[in-house]
């Protein structure tokens, strides 16, 4: 499991990358759907940048 932060209109969300099912354009934003059918409107403006970020983003770590 790899957790990354994604920026959305309502703030930052931590996402398990193995649960990302689909990325698609809706108007001028990228929408991400998850394994539980959750739908997130991200601040990405194109799919290429979203995919690049998902692949390169540092993992979130919790703890001290």
Residue 63 domain flag: no
How far apart are the C-alpha atoms of 33 and 52, rounded to whole Å? 17
Residue 61 domain flag: no
Query: What is the CATH number for 23?
Result: 2.40.50
Please tell me the predicted confidence (pLDDT) of residue 64: 54
Tally helices (H) and strands (E) across the chain.
Answer: 1, 5
Domains held by the chain: number: 1
The pLDDT tens digits of the residues spanning 8-33 come to 999 999 999 999 999 999 999 999 99
The mean per-residue pLDDT over the stretch 45-57 comes to 96
Give the chain's mean pLDDT.
Answer: 94
């Amino acid at each position: 499991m790899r957790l990354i932060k994604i920026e959305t209109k309502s703030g930052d969300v931590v996402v398990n990358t193995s649960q990302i099912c689909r990325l698609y354009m809706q108007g001028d934003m990228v929408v991400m759907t998850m394994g539980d059918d959750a739908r997130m409107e991200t601040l990405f403006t194109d799919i290429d940048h979203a995919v690049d970020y998902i692949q390169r983003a540092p993992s979130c770590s919790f703890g001290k």
